[in-house]
Structure 1
Amino acid sequence: MSSVQHTHAPLVTEQMRAQYRDEGYFILENVLSDTELELLRGGAQFAVDRLDAEMDAKGVDRIGINARGKRYFSAMVYQQRPELRQFLFGDTMAQICRATLGDDAYLFWEQYVLKAGDPDTAFGWHQDSGYVHENHEPYLTCWIALDDVTEENGSVYLLPYSRSGIRSYIKHIPDPRVNDKVCYFGSDPGMPVVVPAGSIAVFSSVVIHRSGPNLTDRMRRVYLAQYSAEVIMSADGSEPWGSFDPFLRDGAVIA
């Protein structure tokens, strides 16, 4: 009696792997299940409330790059909402990490990036590495759309390697008005990522990108999960820079 083996197509194709290597990014559309999407959406309001409470306590409307009622960058939410771990250390992210970083991976950073409807919610051209320091290997950013993303509600715009000519860390200049760090002042508008909810833009931490303002009357919610192949240390080498929960070792999930 013969047996039938069922095989599943890989989430990340060889073409996507090549594009990540050559251009620094690829896009996965509609890859989150409804359960995963609702799980990640569940932490978004918690993220807003936590930052609003911090601003209330300090009597301010801006903390760093956060602006009350406009844009929120709420980090390490999974440490207070441990149910998020089932996604952060699940099969979807394991497949992406293996395809981009290799067989060893750590969760480096995690945050919600939330934009209310306001013309002052754009975010300047930068590399994610520009918010760390110069001495580290490029890491992985997974920009996960929790709502349908359009240019009108604040899409991310990427500059692939072939358009920027940049594949490594470059110096960033602070914008004193909004506290953004900016590294590109050219005329290329970038490639907009217009995707349905449940999609992931996967790109290297040295890919230059920006995001437009949210000009709609609804919140645009994104969940950002970042992974590295090494423990990235602080600039003085005294301590880890981010979270560094072990995720993969020799290709196997150890989280």
Structure 2
Amino acid sequence: MTSIEQERASLVTREMAEQYREEGFFVLERALTPEQLELLRSGAQYSIDKADAAMDAEGVDRLGINARGKRYFGHMIYQDLPQLREFLFGETMAEICRATIGQEAYLFWEQYVIKAADRDTSFSWHQDSGYVHEDHEPYVTCWIALDDVTEENGAVYLLPYSRVGVRSYVKHIKDERTNDKVCYFGSDPGVPVVVPAGSIAVFSSTVMHRSGPNLTDDYRRVYVAQYSGEVITKKGSEEPVGSFERFLEGNKIVNS
């Protein structure tokens, strides 16, 4: 462990861990060091450049769910940029995993979610588990703000367990217009995560959440890292979903 990591060894407090158990989430403000923030931002630019290059090759401005200059989704970028492993398999993420999913952890998924000025970049209420299936233990999502996040530029909104009355997987319904999977149709607006760059919203895969559009002229860049306590397989199959590189074994980091 580096001296910086030792200084930040108590990043997750007992109260935060308790809030995760009771409400499904907690927020770490300014959790990243300047070096970590710069590292993740460099990956965001790589993600944008990679998507633009793919669209150039096809002669289009939209490819899959990417739209040039509007929104970008780049997953498993760490496989292209090995330097991201320092963060993904480092002590900051290890402490979050220990406080949420326990002493065993695998990297499940990693992606950049980048919103530019576009009123059609909101996401409906869903659980992350809703995009997998019901037969798995909840995993943890680390939603990492690479820019200052406001309600105007696309904040994520979290629905605490106590307010929705649900803390397990629920069936999702596909929105035919947006292709979003939706699990909540109530009037509760949720808790907005309005935080400075370098902050992390930590929430369970069973927490209902949504995000608003980016109504500003600047990018809103987010890095998402998800970890599970088990290897999650595709429904009715032995084939793993996601990455599944082992991270923690018996509470110790075994990958870096």
Q: TM-score range by the shorter chain?
A: over 0.9
Q: State whether residues 22 and 161 of structure 1, in contact with CA within 8 Å, keep that contact through their aligned partners in structure 2.
A: yes
SS at match of 1:129: helix
Residue 178 of structure 1: CA displacement?
2.5
Matches within 5 A, 1:42-53: 42-53=42-53
Query: Aligned-pair distance for 1:56?
Result: 4.4
- Residue 161 in 1 paired to residue 161 in 2? yes
Q: Letter of the 1:171 partner, please give it.
A: K
Does 1:71 pair with 2:78? Answer: no
1:84 is aligned to 84
User: 1:121: Cα distance to partner?
Assistant: 1.0
Specify whether residues 51 and 172 from structure 1 end up closer, same or farther in structure 2 by C-alpha distance, changes over 3 A only: farther
Aligned twin of 2:232: 232
TM-score scaled by length of structure 2: 0.93
Deviation at 1:179, TM superposition (A): 2.1
3-state SS of the aligned residue for 1:85?
Answer: helix
The Cα of 1:49 is off from its aligned counterpart by 2.3
Pair 1:184-2:187 in alignment: no
Structure 1 residues 203-222: aligned runs within 5 Å: 203-222=203-222
Note if contact 2:154-2:211 (Cα within 8 Å) is conserved in structure 1: yes
TM-aligned CA deviation for residue 58 of structure 1:
4.9
Q: Report the equivalent of 1:108.
A: 108
Q: Give, as a single letter, the amino acid of the residue that structure 1 aligns with 2:215.
A: L
- Of the structure 1 ranges 221-230 and 180-189, higher mean CA displacement relative to structure 2 is found in 180-189
Q: Secondary structure at the match of 1:18?
A: helix
CA distance in 2, matches of 1:236, 1:214: 38
In the TM superposition, what is the alpha-carbon distance from 1:111 to its structure 2 partner? 0.2
Shift of 1:173: 1.7
Separation (CA, whole Å) in 2 of partners of 1:134 and 1:49: 35
SS in 2 for 1:225: strand
For structure 1, the residue ranges without an aligned partner over 5 or more in a row are 1-5
Give the AA of the match of 1:168: S
CA RMSD of aligned residues (A): 1.7
Is the 2:9–2:95 Cα contact (8 Å) retained in structure 1?
no
Distance 1:219 1:211, change over 3 A: same
Shift of 1:70: 2.0
Find the aligned partners of 1:68 and 1:7 in 2 and give their Cα distance.
41
Task: For residue 11 of structure 1, report the CA deviation from its aligned partner.
Answer: 1.0
What count of residue pairs does the alignment treat as equivalent? 250
For residues 72 and 178 of structure 2, the distance between their equivalents in structure 1, rounded to whole angstroms, comes to: 13
Q: Residues 249, 194 of structure 1: CA spacing in aligned structure 2 closer, same or farther, 3 A cutoff?
A: same
1:125 CA drift (Å): 0.9
Structure 2 counterpart of 1:3: none
Greater Cα shift, 105-114 or 163-172: 163-172
Contact 1:65-1:180 within 8 A present in 2 as well:
no
Cα distance in 2 between the residues matched to 1:171 and 1:146: 31
Structure 2 CA distance for partners of 1:59 and 1:176, relative to 1, 3 Å: farther
Question: How many Å apart are 1:61 and its aligned residue?
Answer: 4.7
Listed one character per residue, the Cα deviations across residues 174-194 of structure 1 (whole Å, up to 9, x for unaligned) are: 222322211111111111000
CA distance in structure 2 between the aligned counterparts of 1:234 and 1:246, rounded to whole angstroms: 18
User: Taking structure 1 as the reference length, what is the TM-score of the superposition?
Assistant: 0.93
Relative distance call for 1:110 and 1:159 in structure 2 (3 A) is: same
% identical aligned pairs: 70
Offset from partner CA, 1:31-50 (integer Å, 9 cap, x none)? 10000000000011211222
Q: Deviations over 1:197-238 (max 9, x none)?
A: 010000000100000010100000000000000000111223
Match of residue 3 from structure 2: none
Cα deviation, residue 59, structure 1: 5.5
